[in-house]
Amino acid sequence: MTGTEPTARRVLHPPAGYRLAGSVRALTFSPYDPCARIADGTFWWATRTPDGPATLSLRPVAGDLLAEGYGPGAEWVVAQADAVAGLRDDLTGFADLAATHPLVARLAREHHGLRMPATGLVFPRVLRAVFEQKVTGKEAYRAYAATVRHFAEQAPGPLQPLLLPPEPAAIAAAPYWVFHPFGVEQRRADTLRRAAAVADRLERCADSAEATRRLTAVPGIGAWTAAEVVRVAYGDPDAVSVGDYHVPNTVAWALAGEPRGDDARMLALLEPFRGHRGRVCVLLEAAGIQAPKYGPRAPIRSFARF
């Protein structure tokens, strides 16, 4: 599965000022993500499609964006390429909403080239989101990368090493202790295995709302995890990560000058932007806005030693 020539190709026409790296950032878990990365200005994304494994590359060329697909699922990823790049992102009505708050209006102008991607695939994002539950980013990335490498399958295309996300069936069949050396306790391992067992049903959801209902029906998956998934799988601009450790404080600080806020306060401040509440959070993150920090950082634990 290492063919170096694309078997599907398409030219996309992004709007003026479009920013590829910023738009696809949500699809990469650090610059060292084994399944997705930006190399020499080209975005590479390995995934499993309904037609089989595939790799998509997105490369800026003279103001356009060249999408090329590799592997059995090449046609599928190229057909989805504009959504993956964020070019199906619908900003209808957001300018008027943004104008109601000076900071949001400024960020909307400064980051007008930022678009929200939609992969059309649920389980690869579930894999990452479950590992991110209630741990530090470093812990989550280590667990994610170690899991991908444990089930290692080389992705099609010329960029190596690039790996495919694990097959849901392989995750579902693995006992929970397989994940223990990766720093994943039984609670998250079982949640991931349960989600993997119903991955086919999750992928058949018609929209973000149905996916949220099905995801939150899985024991161990709540509102936070579901929002993290549908924001990327469906490009849902209204998905808010209720229950996040940092986001309520960030929103309270950015929109009201309050150094701390709970979920209720966050949702109240975001209510004027309903329909694009998640987009506001994305803009705050893109601008690097953070609430003042108090107290020690959360420790990094190793369940592998327990």
The string of pLDDT tens digits covering residues 77-97 is 999 999 999 999 999 999 999
Q: 123-221 maps to which CATH number?
A: 1.10.340.30
**Position 306 pLDDT exceeds 80:** no
* C-beta separation of 266 from 223 below 8 A: no
**Position 130 pLDDT exceeds 80:** yes
Q: 8-89 maps to which CATH number?
A: 3.30.310.20
More confident residue, 20 or 293: 20
What is the average pLDDT score of the chain? 94
**Position 23 pLDDT exceeds 50:** yes
Q: Which tens digits make up the pLDDT trace of 33-49?
A: 999 999 999 999 999 99
Say what angle helices 263-270 and 247-256 make with each other, to 10 degrees.
50
pLDDT category at 5 given cuts 50, 70, 90 is confident
Which residue reads 């391992």 in tokens? 189
**Position 206 pLDDT exceeds 60:** yes
pLDDT category at 4 given cuts 50, 70, 90 is confident
More confident residue, 300 or 40: 40
* C-beta separation of 83 from 118 below 8 A: yes
Hey, do 8-89 and 123-221 end up sharing a CATH topology, with the first three levels equal? no
Output the pLDDT for position 295. Answer: 58
Output the pLDDT for position 15. Answer: 96
Question: How deeply is 294 buried, as exposed, middle or buried, from its count of CB atoms within 10 A (0-12, 13-18, 19+)?
Answer: exposed
Output the pLDDT for position 273. Answer: 98
> Which residue type occupies 24?
V
Q: Which tens digits make up the pLDDT trace of 268-278?
A: 999 999 999 99
Does the bond joining 161 to the residue before it have cis omega, within 30 degrees of 0? yes
**Position 302 pLDDT exceeds 80:** no
Q: Where are the domains of the chain?
A: 8-89, 123-221, 247-286
**Position 237 pLDDT exceeds 70:** yes
Q: How far is CA 193 from CA 34, 70, 167, 188, in A?
A: 21, 29, 11, 9
Average pLDDT over residues 144-169: 96
Average pLDDT over residues 54-62: 97
Backbone angles phi, psi at 5, to 5 degrees: -105, 135
pLDDT category at 126 given cuts 50, 70, 90 is very high
pTM of the model: 0.93
Secondary structure (DSSP) of 113-163? T------S-SHHHHHHHHHTTTS-HHHHHHHHHHHHHHT--BPSSS-SS-B
Output the pLDDT for position 305. Answer: 47
Output the pLDDT for position 296. Answer: 55
The token pair at 268 is 């109240």
